[in-house]
Amino acid sequence: MRRAWLGSVVVVLAAAAGCTATVPGTAAPAPPVVVDATPSPSSAPAAPPPGPRSGLDVDVLPDECLLNAAEFGALVGRPVRPPEQSTVRRENGSTSSGCVATADGEPVAMMNVYGVRTGTPADYVRAAPPGGRRELPGVGEAAAVIDTATGPTLQLAGERYLVTILVSGATPSDDAWRAAAEAALSRLPA
């Protein structure tokens, strides 16, 4: 059975390594830089870069099944059994819970709901590394689809919670992601 994908999806942040090179020649001071302190009326302030990602609190809801079988089925493109809150055992022996949808006895989707320790769920989604992800505009406070080894994963920011939906063996359309996101957001506690 394919159960390896049931482990937590881990996003690894890589630190850039610096390099040093020696260039032959004679050192000379750079010409002075002139800065006009008067802002141009047409220039808008640049948005600050996203800060570091916060830690997450797991198992913040007793039941993370925010989608029903029909909604999970529409997302994965095939009929699924009613989703169930299940205990997930990771390779390191730790456990957590999550909502699992199965089809033909195999897991095809998993949903988790998290709390963020600092900032907002939208901050968390926006601070993700840019590689392997794309924004999904028009839903929630922020949303992005991330390519993972186990399948595409939606990170969805509500006002208080971060929702992740992992799909295995299918690639949902943006419309399918949006429909699932709207349904999940409508069922989050206030």
> Is residue 17 packed enough to be buried (19+ CB in 10 Å), middle (13-18) or exposed (0-12)?
exposed
Helices (H), 64-103: 69-76
Report d(CA 87, CA 59) in Å as an integer: 10
pLDDT for position 38:
35
pTM for this prediction: 0.72
72-102-157-125 Cα dihedral, nearest 10 degrees: -120
Residue by residue, pLDDT tens for the chain (190 residues) are 443 433 333 222 222 223 222 233 333 333 333 333 333 343 334 444 455 567 999 999 999 999 999 999 999 999 999 999 998 777 788 887 999 999 999 999 999 999 999 999 999 999 988 888 999 999 999 999 999 999 999 999 999 999 999 999 999 999 999 999 999 999 999 8
pLDDT for position 29:
34
